[in-house]
Structure 1
């Protein structure tokens, strides 16, 4: 009998042999409770974390099921410490519960010792009200979210069973006339509906907006949608007009340009977190209206002030949409506590195999500083070194060479530093889009790019977020936000919408060798490896051989 495809290690990692005939079944079952950490060609690495196990427990899975899954696919016996940690972690979720008794919210415990231990914590104690008995404390509705945060940080995440307010009813229906929801989109909506709050993780181009619209159609109530910018807001509006029975009169935009509050309101994170006189003038939009659902687009970018008010909105249904749960600030636990547990996730390559996102080839092209730049780099302060390395002038020549090797294709050149981008746009004689570009001008340039009237765009990080460019087939990354994996996900995602001609996408990162630019690139590469994308490293002088091999 053939041994299983999984090697479980005492450090809580699990190595999956991709070529094993049972690997696909194992991958599907592991996704319930383990996070894919690396996904090169032959062996995928999963990590079993407390947060992953709590996500699984929140979805109704038990420790026995998790252990049975690992045992079923294990090549060797599971280390005993791993089994003990799984049982301990999963037993912690739900030991404390937030419930509603008549008109009062209460925190209840299955074990009085756990509740006593938590009540001794200063962070928890200040959020508890009157003690009813050894197993119960009263709590105030406004502390519901903050209490969940505090308990999770103490290692005892509370199960929230207090329910949700229905919100003001509003008729929302999907109009599946010339299109239909994909199976994974429907499953994502089903799992959200069962839980009432939580996060759906899908790659860019896989139709997260349709999942959001599907959730709205299930809730059938006035909805607030939070997005990254005005361009994203208008794309959401267009999709809702196309996919649902909503009319223009029912959809409002709340941004720096427009302040409309309608049954479905699309607001930007920027306007909600803008200050006047030291106060957030617009953050009250979340709480002053009777929303039945709040949609958090790109939830991995949720700003801290929105987290704070979301803690007070636990009676509202909430759905977070994202391509990655990775947060550069390490607040994944707050997403779990305040938005809800991960309800649905599917590997990028799995959706690619189904033909719903484009295949992509990823390359790192290494260039070198000339002697003068090397001396400048060596004598610079640490804070300036990344800018010097990222902005190496040689990147202009390499960018032009790459573009010449993709004739007729639509190319995005993406960077971090405005001065570098301005010089690049001038060198390429291409339009430039930055945060200062008016929204109408951005939409016009993106429209020209979609129609093929403009084949090369130079863009700042504004293109990281929710930009629908289905025919972009080449992205050239010349600088980025240090080692940000979430940015890597967004930038690769700009290419993954299926191409009308079925062609492969190409994702290039130009990196200055032997500098901090290369050091940060290694961290960014982790995201591509996690998702199973091969990452070819080539020196600038060897590009010709790369193209020859690709054409062959």
Structure 2
């Protein structure tokens, strides 16, 4: 007799498209005889998993005893023509797998996720070969989608049509796979001053100062360029790392060394800085590290001194506070991008340039640093997404993504998976709600963000989790000062003096402070490893990167990490909060929603 499991019966119901089915319909879907299906369904009925009913038009139909099992189980529905995948109640594995080759475009409160497979998702997919990518698709899609696979193969091949190499005489050459590519694609899209002269039917001499423009232009035309130039390797530098790399960190280092350029993409707490020091050891050349802030420059210096063989006189800092160039130099994007300082970095041959928080690169000042010539260019980020949709600039200016599934790091215990909850807070009173309704634009958004009722919700959450160190994030100074007074905690903002700020951070790290209220300066570049609880009282609209960065302040190994995002009920903050958390959901983190417990 054919053995039909409860799951197989549910699959048959989904294929039929109805919550009930006859034995004949089940037989067609499961490729067995009607008699075999009827016997198997009778067995399921005896075990209590399936019910039967006699109806007028068909003698017997079968349906699940527990109807909720149909609505709660995962269902993946591909739409190949639109290159979309809709998933109801996705498992963590499914979300993590989809994030490797698709973009999470939308979510609903009912647990539906809509993914779109875009060109850039295929170009940036972290697979060694096309077969590996197609295998990952097969593991998550319920049926073969030949049209979608053909399109994915075309996009994968597009990423190998152009490459940049160094001619034996030292100048840069653009190589195309075919003559038509060089003539019909490159010549049509590139400005006249980018190509100096043709060399052959498939090769052209590129103006050296136009390389970044060429890469961006061809990327936007649908042809990412492989950069295989012989760039500066710098003076040798002997560095030993005093830490043992985790397996995935070693994999990052090896993949980077093979490629010579790339962006390490991993969740906060996964050890990207440690992996970068492993790259420094492997490359063995003088290194420039670019960071967004002086605080992060100081942290890098201390990390290098603590975990490598570098001596103090081998590490320099170059920013508003100090200006020393050494074999390993840590500079801010702002300073390195200023015209009066550019020669300091241009005149030195760097074996490795590290772009920390690399999502800053598309910004005008930071972009100038991407022209620095180095054989090895390494970016670090947890969140390459940008709200201006310029994340492709990160990969064209620095290199392709190199990363590990967040889900795998959660499962291995290297990174704590946060419990994320969006909590909707009512207005404190009718007067506040009426004031909001009467306003528009920025004033309206700010009233929702600074809703005084959030103060009580923050106090409630801190009392509820009194055993955890807490960070409270705000976007407005007045709200920060008010909350700091309400919970009797210091407020750290851009107006806080540098020395005082560092002292407060040190007290928080050592456990001397139970809570801190932090403005936007806490979104990145500040290491607060012991934060177990984060409360986002207000945020930057729907910024996905900010949402992930703030969640990342709690994503450290050990213990249970909690993130609460507060949004004023009935305002556009509700949609903004979901948008900020969507990036985490795409990475396999489960995000829930609830009402305020103080309502």
TM-score, length basis structure 2 = 0.81
Is the CA contact 1:474–1:505 (under 8 Å) kept in the aligned structure 2? Answer: yes
Displacement, 1:142? Answer: 2.1
The structure-2 alpha-carbon separation of the partners of 1:398 and 1:6, relative to structure 1 and needing over 3 Å to count, comes to closer
Following TM superposition, by how much is the alpha carbon of 1:72 offset from its aligned partner in structure 2, in angstroms? 6.4
TM superposition shift of 1:143: 1.7
Contact 1:358 1:503 in 2 (8 A): yes
Structure 2 Cα separation of the partners of residues 510 and 437 of structure 1: 25
User: Secondary structure in 2 aligned to 1:130?
Assistant: strand
Q: CA deviation at 1:7?
A: 5.2
Note closer, same or farther for the CA distance 1:18–1:208 as it changes in structure 2 (3 Å cut). farther
Per-residue Cα deviation, 1:201-257 (whole angstroms, up to 9, x for no partner): 111111111011011111111111111212211111111112110111111122221
* Counterpart position of 2:583: 527
- 2:221 aligned with 1:162, yes or no? no
Relative to structure 1, the CA distance from residue 145 to residue 43 in structure 2 (aligned partners, 3 Å threshold; closer, same or farther) is same
- Answer whether contact 2:262 2:401 (CA < 8 A) is retained: yes
269, 274, 279: which is aligned to 1:205? 269
The structural deviation recorded for 1:141 is: 2.2
- The structure-2 alpha-carbon separation of the partners of 1:52 and 1:365, relative to structure 1 and needing over 3 Å to count, comes to closer
Answering whether residue 260 of structure 2 is matched by residue 196 of structure 1, we say: yes
Alpha-carbon distance in 1 for matches of 2:121, 2:102: 6
Is structure 2 residue 437 aligned with structure 1 residue 378?
yes
Indicate how the Cα distance of structure 1 residues 198 and 256 shifts in structure 2: closer, same or farther if over 3 A, else same: same
Are 1:139 and 2:206 matched, yes or no?
A: yes
1:414 alignment counterpart: 473
After superposition, the Cα gap between the structure-2 partners of 1:128 and 1:35, relative to the gap in structure 1 and judged at 3 Å, is: same
Q: Secondary structure at the match of 2:145?
A: coil
CA offset digits 1:13-34 (Å, max 9, x no partner): 44679989xx96x888767644
Could you say if the C-alpha distance between residues 484 and 69 of structure 1 is closer, same or farther in structure 2, counting changes exceeding 3 Å?
A: closer
Q: Which of 476, 481, 487 is the matching residue for 2:540?
A: 481
The alpha-carbon deviation at position 121 of structure 1 amounts to 2.6
Correspondence for 1:114 among 158, 181, 203: 181
Conserved 8 A contact 1:411-1:456: yes
Instruction: Tell whether the 8 Å contact from 2:350 to 2:374 is kept in structure 1 after alignment.
Output: no
Instruction: Return the match for 2:216 from 139, 142, 149.
Output: 149
In structure 2, the partner of 1:365 is: 423
- Alignment partner for residue 51 of structure 1, among 103, 120, 138? 120
Q: Secondary structure at the match of 2:174?
A: strand
After TM superposition, the structure 1 stretch with the greater mean CA deviation from structure 2, 203-212 or 422-431, is 422-431
Contact between 2:470 and 2:514, CA under 8 Å: does it hold in 1?
yes
1:401-420 alpha-carbon deviations (Å, 9 max, x no partner): 11111223211111000111
| Contact 2:296/2:525 (<8 A) preserved | yes
SS at match of 2:242: coil
* Structure 2 partner of 1:276: none
Say if 1:46 and 1:61 are closer, same or farther in 2 by CA, change over 3 A: farther
**DSSP-derived class of the 2:250 partner:** helix
TM-fit CA distance, 1:164? 2.4
Separation in structure 2 between the aligned mates of residue 182 and residue 37 of structure 1, nearest angstrom: 33
* Residue 389 of structure 2 is aligned to residue 325 of structure 1: no
Establish whether residue 392 from structure 1 lines up as the match of residue 451 from structure 2: yes
What's the Cα RMSD here? 2.8
Structure-2 separation of matches of 1:270 and 1:333: 21
Call closer, same or farther: CA 1:15–1:240 in 2, change over 3 Å. farther
Give the drift of 1:314: 4.8
What is the match of residue 77 of structure 1? 144
Aligned mates of 1:311, 1:159 — CA distance in 2: 16
CA distance in structure 2 between the aligned counterparts of 1:425 and 1:224, rounded to whole angstroms: 38
Q: TM-score, normalised to structure 1's length? A: 0.88
Q: Report what 2:562 is aligned to.
A: 506
After superposition, the C-alpha distances for 1:146-178 in whole angstroms (9 at most, x for unaligned) are 2111111111222222232211211111123xx
State the alpha-carbon separation in 2 of the partners of residues 166 and 183 from structure 1.
27
| Paired position in structure 2 for 1:61 | 129
2:350 match: 291
SS in 2 for 1:281: helix
Do residues 91 (structure 1) and 150 (structure 2) align? no
Mapped pair 1:443 → 2:499? no
Q: Secondary structure at the match of 1:226?
A: strand
Cα distance in 2 between the residues matched to 1:208 and 1:119: 36
| Alpha-carbon distance in 2 for matches of 1:282, 1:505 | 42
Please list every run of 5 or more consecutive structure 2 residues that lacks an aligned counterpart in the other structure: 12-73
Contact 1:237 1:251 in 2 (8 A): yes
Q: Which has the higher contact order (CA 8 A, sep 6+)?
A: 1
Rounded to whole Å, the distance in 2 between the matches of 1:366 and 1:419 is 21
Residue in 1 aligned with 2:549?
A: 490
In the alignment, which residue of structure 1 is the partner of 2:287? 223
The equivalent position to 1:187 in structure 2, one of 235, 251, 258, is 251
Distance change in 2, residues 1:28/1:192 (3 Å): farther
| Distance change >3 Å, CA 397–CA 148, structure 1 → 2 | same
* Unmatched tracts of structure 1, length 5 or more: 274-278, 544-552
Q: 1:145–1:310: 8 Å Cα contact kept in structure 2?
A: no
Structure 2: distance between partners of 1:528 and 1:71: 23
